[in-house]
Amino acid sequence: MTTLRSTITLDQSREATFARVTDFARWEMLAKPAGFTAKPRPQPAPYTVGQVWDVAGKYGKTTTEMVLTLDEVSEGQHIMLSTQVFAIAATVKIAVQVERETGAGTTAVQITADLKPKGITARAMLAPLKLGKTKLEQKVAKVAHQLLKV
């Protein structure tokens, strides 16, 4: 298993941050500029545990299609999502924690992705990722900061 972990700190309240984390309609909209589509099933989406999105787009030269599932919501604390792509099962946890209670507050967001290969080919696909792990974690942190800032 490969684990990626990124943490960011935002000068905003836990409530404002968690509202951004769970603004799934916004995430769907933000997928488009990245070259992806994220279509909820059913429509209109209830955005509750069990919610499913059909996600499609290009990753490099490869077209990627996956089903993303909202597995858990712990109000004000974290969400968990899961998917499988290229024989790699991925579980992503986005946790929100209060760092300091000053004014609007300072909130830390930790994003953890556990990637479990399902076979030798998938293990080989994860090998280069392990080599560039730090750079990828920094990239995730940068994008998360942009997306979650109120």
More confident residue, 100 or 24: 24
Q: Using pLDDT thresholds of 50, 70 and 90, give the confidence band for residue 103.
A: low
Q: Please report, as a single letter, which amino acid is at residue 6.
A: S
Q: Tell me, what's the pLDDT at 102?
A: 55
Q: Using pLDDT thresholds of 50, 70 and 90, give the confidence band for residue 93.
A: very high
Q: Are 22 and 73 in contact (CB under 8 A)?
A: yes
Q: Tell me, what's the pLDDT at 101?
A: 59
Q: Tell me, what's the pLDDT at 119?
A: 92
> For the residues 108-132, what does the mean pLDDT come to?
91
> For the residues 120-126, what does the mean pLDDT come to?
91
What's phi and psi for 44, nearest 5 deg? -70, 145
> For the residues 75-91, what does the mean pLDDT come to?
94
Of 64-78, 95-109, 117-131, the one with minimum mean pLDDT is 95-109
User: Residue 62 belongs to what domain range?
Assistant: 2-148
Q: Which CATH number fits the domain that encloses residue 38? A: 3.30.530.20
pTM over cut 0.85:
yes
Q: CA-to-CA distance for 3 and 90, rounded, in angstroms? A: 10
Q: CA-to-CA distance for 96 and 62, rounded, in angstroms? A: 33
Q: CA-to-CA distance for 115 and 113, rounded, in angstroms? A: 6
Q: Using pLDDT thresholds of 50, 70 and 90, give the confidence band for residue 100.
A: low
Average model confidence (pLDDT) across the chain: 89
Q: CA-to-CA distance for 129 and 118, rounded, in angstroms? A: 16
How many structural domains compose the chain? 1
